[in-house]
Amino acid sequence: MNDEFINDCKDKSNSELARKYKVSERTIRRWRKKAKESIPAPTTKVYDDFVTVESDKVMVIGDIEIPFHSTDTLEMACALARKYELDTLIINGDLVALDCFSTWVRNTAYKLTFKNEIEPALEILKIFLTIFNQIYIVTGNHERRLARKLDGEITIGEFFSNISGVTFSEYSYCILNSGGEEILVCHQDNYSKQPLAVSRELASIYHKHIIAGHTHHLAQGYDKSGKYWVVDGGCCRDTKYTEYKSIRVNTFPKWNNGVVMVINGSPLLVDMGNANFWLA
């Protein structure tokens, strides 16, 4: 039953409908009855406008959490991008810490303002734009702090969306097509102490190669089928600026600072330990 006929039923008689559609009035009555029984289509938004990135020379970094970022890691990322002529940067969530809105940092939050966090983030994006042709930012759990604080009135994307060369996505993932491979780059909700545990499970669900954020692990392997490679993408936050990591003792794994280059569909993991090799 098409939408035009359903709309016509609102203000046209059976005889008018019969003339318009060139059928008998008996047929029109049957069609009207069927239209009443039809379940209406949803009128809500369709959530399929996630970002798709097409590039064979990509850098993926995440969990920068400015202003607690590791300057050394970001400088390494810039040096790698220049050497290998990478043209695309994907920031895989948590560009800005937004600890000024966090309920978990009572001892430090009062020392920070939103201005203290957003201004250095904009400066770092400007530096990235001198290296990369295009920057894509997906939403991490830290980005959601602003929207949650303001009951969804605005999101952090309002501060990035007008910058030429920067694409901000409200989605926590994007699809990267590189070297004929389809890769899910995501800042998922799940965490595990075990490196690659979350990435492997994501690969089994989404049937794609995976670059996962959020865990702060830096690791590479394969899913159980051996078909898809999986990566934990490391982080760019510095523990010495992070109170709860520096003054407490617990069994959570140490964070791994590092970045991922994706060249022609293949992932290459770089940290401060092997950076000299890649930059030689």
Facing residues of 174 across strands?
51, 185
CA–CA separation, 89 and 64 (whole Å): 13
In our burial notation (b when 16+ CB lie closer than 10 A, e otherwise), range 97-107 reads bbbbbeeebee
pTM for the model: 0.86
Facing residues of 261 across strands?
59, 268
Q: How many C-beta atoms lie closer than 10 Å to residue 85's C-beta?
A: 9
List all residues 6 or more positions away from 112 whose beta carbon is below 8 Å from its beta carbon.
67, 99, 100
CA–CA separation, 252 and 203 (whole Å): 24
The predicted-structure confidence for 187-217, as pLDDT tens digits, reads as follows 999 999 999 999 999 999 999 999 999 999 9
Per-residue pLDDT in tens (0 to 9) along the chain, 280 residues: 577 888 888 888 999 999 999 999 999 988 888 877 766 778 888 999 999 999 999 999 999 999 999 999 999 999 999 999 999 999 999 999 998 887 765 555 557 889 999 999 999 999 999 999 999 999 999 999 998 888 888 889 999 988 999 999 999 999 999 999 999 999 999 999 999 999 999 999 999 999 999 999 999 999 999 999 999 999 999 999 988 888 888 888 999 999 999 999 999 999 999 999 999 9
Q: What is the Cα 95 distance to its own chain's centre?
A: 11
Question: Token pair for residue 100?
Answer: 């000024």
Q: Are 55 and 178 in contact (CB under 8 A)?
A: yes
